[in-house]
Amino acid sequence: MMKKKIIVANWKMNYDLHETTFFLRNFLKYIKEKKICHNKEIIIAPSFPFLHISNQISQGTLLKIAAQNIFFKDKGSFTGEISASMLKSIGIDIVIIGHSERRKFFLEDENSLLKKLKIAIKHKIKVIFCIGETYEDRNKNNQYSIIEKQLNNTIFHCSPNEIKLIYIAYEPIWAIGTGVTATIDQITKMHYFIRNIFYEKYGNTISSKISILYGGSINHLNAKNIIYSNNVDGGLIGNSSLNLEQFVKIVQY
Ligand code: PGA
Protein backbone atom coordinates (compact mmCIF):
# COMPACT_ATOMS: atom_id res chain seq x y z
CA MET A 1 0.00 0.00 0.00
CA MET A 2 1.32 3.44 -0.90
CA LYS A 3 2.19 5.53 2.14
CA LYS A 4 0.45 8.89 2.55
CA LYS A 5 2.79 11.73 1.65
CA ILE A 6 3.52 14.02 4.58
CA ILE A 7 3.79 17.77 4.05
CA VAL A 8 5.00 19.81 7.01
CA ALA A 9 5.00 23.62 7.05
CA ASN A 10 7.56 25.06 9.44
CA TRP A 11 6.58 28.69 9.88
CA LYS A 12 9.50 29.42 12.20
CA MET A 13 9.22 32.91 13.83
CA ASN A 14 6.76 34.28 11.29
CA TYR A 15 3.12 35.38 11.35
CA ASP A 16 1.23 37.10 14.13
CA LEU A 17 -2.25 36.19 15.34
CA HIS A 18 -4.07 37.83 12.45
CA GLU A 19 -1.76 36.42 9.77
CA THR A 20 -1.89 32.93 11.28
CA THR A 21 -5.69 32.73 11.47
CA PHE A 22 -6.11 34.37 8.06
CA PHE A 23 -3.80 31.83 6.42
CA LEU A 24 -5.35 28.82 8.14
CA ARG A 25 -8.94 29.80 7.41
CA ASN A 26 -8.21 30.45 3.75
CA PHE A 27 -6.10 27.34 3.38
CA LEU A 28 -8.83 25.17 4.89
CA LYS A 29 -11.50 26.83 2.78
CA TYR A 30 -9.47 26.17 -0.34
CA ILE A 31 -8.74 22.51 0.31
CA LYS A 32 -12.39 21.92 1.27
CA GLU A 33 -13.74 23.56 -1.88
CA LYS A 34 -11.27 21.75 -4.13
CA LYS A 35 -11.67 18.48 -2.19
CA ILE A 36 -7.91 17.94 -2.22
CA CYS A 37 -5.32 16.53 0.15
CA HIS A 38 -7.24 13.47 1.33
CA ASN A 39 -4.28 11.32 0.30
CA LYS A 40 -1.84 13.41 2.35
CA GLU A 41 -0.94 14.22 5.91
CA ILE A 42 -0.70 18.00 6.19
CA ILE A 43 0.91 19.53 9.26
CA ILE A 44 1.48 23.23 9.97
CA ALA A 45 3.75 24.45 12.77
CA PRO A 46 2.89 28.04 13.76
CA SER A 47 4.46 29.95 16.66
CA PHE A 48 3.69 28.96 20.26
CA PRO A 49 1.20 31.76 21.11
CA PHE A 50 -1.07 30.70 18.24
CA LEU A 51 -1.03 26.92 18.64
CA HIS A 52 -4.24 26.84 20.61
CA ILE A 53 -6.32 28.90 18.20
CA SER A 54 -4.71 27.14 15.23
CA ASN A 55 -5.75 23.82 16.66
CA GLN A 56 -9.28 25.09 17.24
CA ILE A 57 -9.53 26.37 13.67
CA SER A 58 -8.36 23.06 12.24
CA GLN A 59 -10.59 20.84 14.43
CA GLY A 60 -12.54 18.38 12.30
CA THR A 61 -10.37 19.01 9.22
CA LEU A 62 -7.49 16.98 7.87
CA LEU A 63 -4.98 19.64 8.92
CA LYS A 64 -2.83 18.93 11.97
CA ILE A 65 -0.99 21.51 14.04
CA ALA A 66 2.52 21.00 15.43
CA ALA A 67 4.80 22.84 17.86
CA GLN A 68 8.27 23.93 16.78
CA ASN A 69 9.97 23.06 20.05
CA ILE A 70 9.49 21.48 23.48
CA PHE A 71 11.46 21.45 26.74
CA PHE A 72 12.91 18.27 28.18
CA LYS A 73 11.53 18.58 31.72
CA ASP A 74 7.97 17.94 32.83
CA LYS A 75 7.66 21.19 34.80
CA GLY A 76 9.51 23.55 37.12
CA SER A 77 11.67 26.66 37.19
CA PHE A 78 12.61 26.90 33.52
CA THR A 79 11.66 30.43 32.56
CA GLY A 80 10.35 30.74 29.05
CA GLU A 81 10.10 27.03 28.32
CA ILE A 82 7.08 24.95 27.23
CA SER A 83 6.41 21.42 28.48
CA ALA A 84 4.95 18.36 26.84
CA SER A 85 1.92 18.38 29.11
CA MET A 86 1.23 22.04 28.27
CA LEU A 87 1.17 21.11 24.59
CA LYS A 88 -1.04 18.10 25.24
CA SER A 89 -3.43 20.25 27.27
CA ILE A 90 -4.21 22.31 24.16
CA GLY A 91 -4.44 19.25 21.94
CA ILE A 92 -1.02 19.46 20.31
CA ASP A 93 0.57 16.06 19.77
CA ILE A 94 3.22 16.72 17.15
CA VAL A 95 6.52 18.56 17.64
CA ILE A 96 9.58 19.41 15.56
CA ILE A 97 12.82 18.58 17.38
CA GLY A 98 16.44 19.13 16.35
CA HIS A 99 15.96 21.74 13.66
CA SER A 100 19.36 23.09 12.60
CA GLU A 101 18.32 26.62 13.62
CA ARG A 102 17.73 25.40 17.18
CA ARG A 103 21.05 23.58 17.14
CA LYS A 104 22.83 26.68 15.85
CA PHE A 105 21.16 29.64 17.57
CA PHE A 106 20.08 27.96 20.81
CA LEU A 107 23.05 25.61 21.10
CA GLU A 108 20.92 22.50 21.39
CA ASP A 109 23.28 19.55 21.52
CA GLU A 110 22.49 15.91 20.92
CA ASN A 111 22.27 15.22 24.60
CA SER A 112 19.45 17.71 25.07
CA LEU A 113 17.80 16.65 21.80
CA LEU A 114 17.70 13.08 23.05
CA LYS A 115 16.04 14.23 26.27
CA LYS A 116 13.49 16.25 24.28
CA LEU A 117 12.81 13.24 22.08
CA LYS A 118 12.29 10.99 25.08
CA ILE A 119 9.95 13.35 26.91
CA ALA A 120 7.84 13.92 23.80
CA ILE A 121 7.51 10.19 23.25
CA LYS A 122 6.71 9.62 26.92
CA HIS A 123 3.74 11.95 26.44
CA LYS A 124 2.78 10.25 23.14
CA ILE A 125 3.72 13.32 21.12
CA LYS A 126 4.78 12.53 17.57
CA VAL A 127 8.26 13.85 16.73
CA ILE A 128 9.53 15.27 13.45
CA PHE A 129 13.24 14.89 14.09
CA CYS A 130 15.63 16.90 11.91
CA ILE A 131 19.11 15.82 10.91
CA GLY A 132 21.47 17.22 8.31
CA GLU A 133 25.07 17.93 7.39
CA THR A 134 26.80 21.28 6.85
CA TYR A 135 28.24 22.48 3.57
CA GLU A 136 31.75 21.67 4.84
CA ASP A 137 30.71 18.13 5.78
CA ARG A 138 29.39 17.54 2.26
CA ASN A 139 32.42 19.10 0.64
CA LYS A 140 34.60 16.66 2.52
CA ASN A 141 32.23 13.82 1.62
CA ASN A 142 31.48 13.29 5.31
CA GLN A 143 27.69 13.58 4.98
CA TYR A 144 26.94 9.91 5.57
CA SER A 145 29.11 9.55 8.67
CA ILE A 146 27.67 12.79 10.10
CA ILE A 147 24.08 11.62 9.58
CA GLU A 148 24.86 8.23 11.10
CA LYS A 149 26.45 9.91 14.11
CA GLN A 150 23.44 12.22 14.58
CA LEU A 151 21.12 9.21 14.52
CA ASN A 152 23.36 7.13 16.80
CA ASN A 153 23.39 9.87 19.43
CA THR A 154 19.63 10.45 19.41
CA ILE A 155 17.07 8.36 17.55
CA PHE A 156 18.89 5.06 17.94
CA HIS A 157 18.45 5.30 21.70
CA CYS A 158 14.77 4.63 21.07
CA SER A 159 13.05 1.25 21.27
CA PRO A 160 11.18 -0.12 18.23
CA ASN A 161 7.93 0.97 19.88
CA GLU A 162 9.21 4.50 20.39
CA ILE A 163 10.39 4.72 16.78
CA LYS A 164 6.75 4.42 15.70
CA LEU A 165 6.19 7.98 16.94
CA ILE A 166 9.05 9.46 14.90
CA TYR A 167 9.33 11.02 11.45
CA ILE A 168 12.84 11.76 10.21
CA ALA A 169 13.45 15.00 8.32
CA TYR A 170 16.67 15.01 6.35
CA GLU A 171 17.57 18.68 5.97
CA PRO A 172 21.03 19.45 4.60
CA ILE A 173 21.92 22.69 6.38
CA TRP A 174 23.36 24.20 3.22
CA ALA A 175 19.96 23.85 1.54
CA ILE A 176 17.84 25.47 4.28
CA GLY A 177 16.61 28.93 3.35
CA THR A 178 19.33 29.28 0.71
CA GLY A 179 17.36 28.59 -2.46
CA VAL A 180 19.86 25.79 -3.18
CA THR A 181 17.99 22.50 -3.13
CA ALA A 182 19.84 19.21 -2.89
CA THR A 183 19.70 17.30 -6.17
CA ILE A 184 17.33 14.37 -6.53
CA ASP A 185 20.40 12.15 -6.67
CA GLN A 186 21.77 13.55 -3.39
CA ILE A 187 18.36 13.25 -1.73
CA THR A 188 17.57 9.71 -2.83
CA LYS A 189 21.06 8.45 -1.95
CA MET A 190 20.85 9.93 1.53
CA HIS A 191 17.30 8.67 2.12
CA TYR A 192 18.36 5.20 0.99
CA PHE A 193 21.32 5.38 3.36
CA ILE A 194 19.10 6.43 6.28
CA ARG A 195 16.50 3.74 5.59
CA ASN A 196 19.27 1.18 5.34
CA ILE A 197 20.70 1.99 8.76
CA PHE A 198 17.21 1.73 10.21
CA TYR A 199 17.08 -1.70 8.58
CA GLU A 200 20.35 -2.72 10.20
CA LYS A 201 19.23 -1.49 13.64
CA TYR A 202 15.53 -2.36 13.69
CA GLY A 203 14.81 -4.73 10.79
CA ASN A 204 12.53 -4.67 7.81
CA THR A 205 9.15 -3.65 9.23
CA ILE A 206 10.40 -0.51 10.94
CA SER A 207 12.78 0.51 8.18
CA SER A 208 10.11 0.25 5.53
CA LYS A 209 7.52 2.04 7.66
CA ILE A 210 9.62 4.92 8.98
CA SER A 211 8.77 8.16 7.19
CA ILE A 212 11.74 10.11 5.89
CA LEU A 213 11.01 13.66 4.76
CA TYR A 214 13.30 15.99 2.88
CA GLY A 215 13.66 19.68 3.77
CA GLY A 216 15.68 22.52 2.28
CA SER A 217 14.44 25.09 -0.26
CA ILE A 218 11.43 23.11 -1.42
CA ASN A 219 9.12 25.33 -3.46
CA HIS A 220 6.07 24.94 -5.68
CA LEU A 221 8.28 24.26 -8.72
CA ASN A 222 10.51 21.50 -7.33
CA ALA A 223 8.18 19.98 -4.70
CA LYS A 224 6.59 17.31 -6.88
CA ASN A 225 9.88 15.87 -8.11
CA ILE A 226 11.32 15.76 -4.63
CA ILE A 227 8.32 14.42 -2.76
CA TYR A 228 7.73 11.60 -5.25
CA SER A 229 11.37 10.50 -5.40
CA ASN A 230 12.49 7.10 -4.19
CA ASN A 231 12.54 6.70 -0.44
CA VAL A 232 11.09 10.19 0.12
CA ASP A 233 7.88 10.26 2.16
CA GLY A 234 7.26 13.98 2.13
CA GLY A 235 8.70 17.42 2.72
CA LEU A 236 9.45 19.90 5.49
CA ILE A 237 8.91 23.33 4.05
CA GLY A 238 9.97 26.70 5.44
CA ASN A 239 9.83 29.82 3.25
CA SER A 240 7.43 28.50 0.62
CA SER A 241 4.94 27.40 3.25
CA LEU A 242 4.39 31.04 4.20
CA ASN A 243 3.00 31.84 0.79
CA LEU A 244 -0.60 30.60 0.63
CA GLU A 245 -0.68 30.29 -3.15
CA GLN A 246 2.59 28.40 -3.28
CA PHE A 247 1.74 26.17 -0.34
CA VAL A 248 -1.60 25.25 -1.87
CA LYS A 249 0.23 24.20 -5.03
CA ILE A 250 2.68 22.09 -3.04
CA VAL A 251 -0.02 20.19 -1.14
CA GLN A 252 -1.95 19.49 -4.34
CA TYR A 253 0.76 17.39 -5.99
P1 PGA B 1 13.27 26.30 3.74
O2 PGA B 1 13.30 25.79 5.24
O3 PGA B 1 12.18 25.55 3.03
O4 PGA B 1 13.01 27.76 3.83
O5 PGA B 1 14.62 25.98 3.14
C6 PGA B 1 13.17 24.44 5.55
C7 PGA B 1 13.31 24.23 7.04
O8 PGA B 1 14.04 24.97 7.69
O9 PGA B 1 12.69 23.33 7.61
Q: What is the pLDDT of residues 93-113, one digit of tens each?
A: 999 999 999 999 999 999 999
Kindly state whether residue 38 falls inside one of the protein's structural domains: no
Which of 41, 171, 191, 220 is catalytic? The answer is 171
Q: What is the pLDDT of residue 68?
A: 98
Encode pLDDT of 6-39 as tens digits. Answer: 999 999 999 999 999 999 999 999 999 888 878 8
Which of 44, 105, 214, 218 for a ligand 1 pocket mutation test, highest count of atoms within 8 Å of Cβ?
218
Task: List phi, psi (to 5°) of 76.
Answer: 130, -160
CB of 216 within 6 A of ligand 1: the answer is yes
Encode pLDDT of 195-216 as tens digits. Answer: 999 999 999 999 999 999 999 9
CB of 217 within 6 A of ligand 1: the answer is yes
> pLDDT grade, residue 59 (50/70/90)?
very high
Q: What is the pLDDT of residue 128?
A: 98
Instruction: Please say if 19 is a catalytic residue.
Output: no
Report which protein residue has its CA nearest ligand 1's atom 2. 238
Q: What is the pLDDT of residue 18?
A: 98
Instruction: Please say if 171 is a catalytic residue.
Output: yes
Kindly state whether residue 72 falls inside one of the protein's structural domains: no
Helices (H), the chain: 17-34, 51-58, 84-89, 100-105, 110-122, 135-139, 143-153, 160-163, 184-202, 204-209, 223-227, 244-252
Kindly state whether residue 74 falls inside one of the protein's structural domains: no
Kindly state whether residue 209 falls inside one of the protein's structural domains: yes
- For residue 159, pLDDT over 70 is answered with yes
Work out the average pLDDT over 174-196.
96
CB of 215 within 6 A of ligand 1: the answer is yes
Task: Look at residue 194 and give its three-state secondary structure.
Answer: helix
84 CA → ligand 1 middle, Å: 24
Domain holding 227, by residue range, is 82-253
203 CA → ligand 1 middle, Å: 31
Report which protein residue has its CA nearest ligand 1's atom 6. 238
Encode pLDDT of 213-247 as tens digits. Answer: 999 999 999 999 999 999 999 999 999 999 999 99
Q: What is the pLDDT of residue 253?
A: 87
Encode pLDDT of 69-93 as tens digits. Answer: 999 999 999 999 999 999 999 999 9
- For residue 63, pLDDT over 80 is answered with yes
Can you tell me which atom of ligand 1 is nearest the CA of 130?
Answer: 9
Q: What is the pLDDT of residue 1?
A: 65
CATH number of the domain bearing residue 94: 3.20.20.70
Kindly state whether residue 198 falls inside one of the protein's structural domains: yes
Helix 17-34 to helix 51-58 angle, to the nearest 10 degrees? 20
Work out the average pLDDT over 47-61.
97
- For residue 2, pLDDT over 80 is answered with no
Task: Look at residue 55 and give its three-state secondary structure.
Answer: helix
**Cα(116)–Cα(128) distance, integer angstroms:** 12
Structural domains in the chain (count):
1
Which of 96, 176, 220, 241 for a ligand 1 pocket mutation test, highest count of atoms within 8 Å of Cβ?
176
Q: How far is CA 207 from CA 167, 178, 197, in A?
A: 12, 30, 8
CB of 98 within 6 A of ligand 1: the answer is no
Which of 99, 133, 191, 220 is catalytic? The answer is 99
